[in-house]
Amino acid sequence: MTALSIQNLKKTYGNGFEALKGVDLEVECGDFFALLGPNGAGKSTLIGIISSLVNKTSGKVRVFDHDLDTDRVAAKTCIGAVPQEINFNQFETCFSVVLNQAGYYGIPRKLAKQRTEQCLRQVELWDKRDTVSRRLSGGMKRRLMIARAMVHSPRLLILDEPTAGVDIEIRRSMWEMMQEVNKQGTTIILTTHYLEEAESLCRNIAIINNGEIVEKSAMHQLLGRMHTDHFVLDVGRSLTGAPAIAGYQIELVSERCLEVAVPKSLGLNRLFQELSARQIEVLSLRNKSNRLEQLFLDLVQ
């Protein structure tokens, strides 16, 4: 069963800008799906249409087989959305923000209070339940939006850059939480600018650019397409030029630092042997960029 099915979705804004030019997309039930794209590619418009925040120009959107036009209530009930920007009442307490959202989904007060407690505990905000939401830190505000989106137990959770501006520790804990939610059966669609986040969490990926899907595949298949890895090496002695090793493209970044393009067919062992033969000791090694980042740039440029 598909959690989300989009057919020929188009959106043209009043000023004539075509944000979506006929998007087709399917997300399987239970998937952890990444939707990536550069700024202005159409991600937020697409998510806005699915979440009923933006009117589409044409096309079909079905959520768990419920048409968003003709079976609106059932379709909307399946969706929980965490937008990019803070959009809760900043004068309400955290508890009220989540409780009110439960009410909008028709959950009776008593049950809504239980669900609110459960969701606030899940995002580790229970201690802040009586705090006015504007007093929360940036990371807490994002977690509050996630709690709010989960209060009606949606089958499809859409997260639009949920970890933007959040420190590493909180980001990691949010990753764990999202993985846990996904394990429990909730389909997740994630947009993010942190490509290592998409690589770590998501099983399938779509890349959107200029209002069109330019790539859609399983994450491992996409990463498998990479033929070359780029590494940065710190070396033990000063160099005046980049060593020439057949098959490897090497550049001297600074006296004690090299940047190497390593073809997968050759690997790292041979590189280390060749460097060692030239009395160049490798002190440390790191990826130049995230692997997905390299592919992403290739696809959108």
Partner 1 sequence: MNYSVAFSTILIKEIRRFTRIWPQTLLPPAITTALYFLIFGKLIGDRIGLVHGIRYMDYIVPGIILMSVISHSYSNVVSSFYSTKFQRHIEELLVAPVPNYVILSGYVCGGIARGVLVGLVVAAISMIFTDTRILHWDIVAAVFVLTATLFALAGFINAVFADSFDDISIIPNFILTPLSYLGGVFYSVEMLPGIWQKVAQGNPILYMINAFRYGMIGVSDVQIQIAFAMTAGFILLLASLSLYLLHKGIGIKN
Select 100 or 179, whichever has its Cβ closest to partner 1. Answer: 100
Q: Which of 38, 103, 139, 243 binds partner 1 (CB under 8 A)?
A: 103
Q: Which of 8, 65, 72, 298 binds partner 1 (CB under 8 A)?
A: 72
Distance between CA atoms of residues 288 and 299, nearest Å: 18
Cβ-proximal residues to 253 (8 Å cutoff; 6+ apart), any chain: 232, 259
Q: Is 104 in the site for partner 1 (CB under 8 A)?
A: yes
Q: Which of 46, 51, 63, 125 binds partner 1 (CB under 8 A)?
A: 51
Q: Is 83 in the site for partner 1 (CB under 8 A)?
A: yes
Question: Which of 193, 184, 137, 186 is CA-nearest to residue 160?
Answer: 193
Other Cβ atoms less than 10 A from the Cβ of 223: the count is 15
Reduced to 3 states, what is the DSSP secondary structure of residue 171? helix
User: Residue 108: what are its φ and ψ, rounded to 5°?
Assistant: -55, 150
**DSSP strand pairing (156-160 vs 187-191):** parallel
Q: Is 73 in the site for partner 1 (CB under 8 A)?
A: yes
Q: Is 55 in the site for partner 1 (CB under 8 A)?
A: yes
Distance between CA atoms of residues 38 and 210, nearest Å: 9
Q: Is 135 in the site for partner 1 (CB under 8 A)?
A: no
CB of 124 to partner 1, least distance (A): 22
Q: Is 128 exposed, middle or buried (0-12, 13-18, 19+ CB in 10 A)?
A: buried
Q: Which of 32, 33, 64, 88 binds partner 1 (CB under 8 A)?
A: 88
In the sheet that holds 204-209, the strands lie side by side as 79-82, 156-160, 187-191, 32-36, 204-209, 212-218
CB of 83 to partner 1, least distance (A): 7
Q: Is 108 in the site for partner 1 (CB under 8 A)?
A: yes
Q: Is 116 in the site for partner 1 (CB under 8 A)?
A: no
Select 211 or 248, whichever has its Cβ closest to partner 1. Answer: 211
Q: Is 81 in the site for partner 1 (CB under 8 A)?
A: yes
Half-sphere exposure in the Cβ direction for 282 (13 Å, CA): 18
Q: Is 16 in the site for partner 1 (CB under 8 A)?
A: no
CA 137, 138, 144, 145: dihedral to nearest 10 degrees? 160
Distance between CA atoms of residues 210 and 41, nearest Å: 5
Q: Is 40 in the site for partner 1 (CB under 8 A)?
A: no
Number of residues near partner 1 (by CB under 8 A): 33
Q: Is 76 in the site for partner 1 (CB under 8 A)?
A: yes
Q: Is 211 in the site for partner 1 (CB under 8 A)?
A: no
**227 touches 261 (CB < 8 A):** no
Q: Is 15 in the site for partner 1 (CB under 8 A)?
A: no
Select 104 or 218, whichever has its Cβ closest to partner 1. Answer: 104
Residue numbers of the site for partner 1 (CB under 8 A)? 13, 45, 48, 51-55, 72-74, 76-77, 79, 81, 83, 85-90, 96, 100-101, 103-109, 148
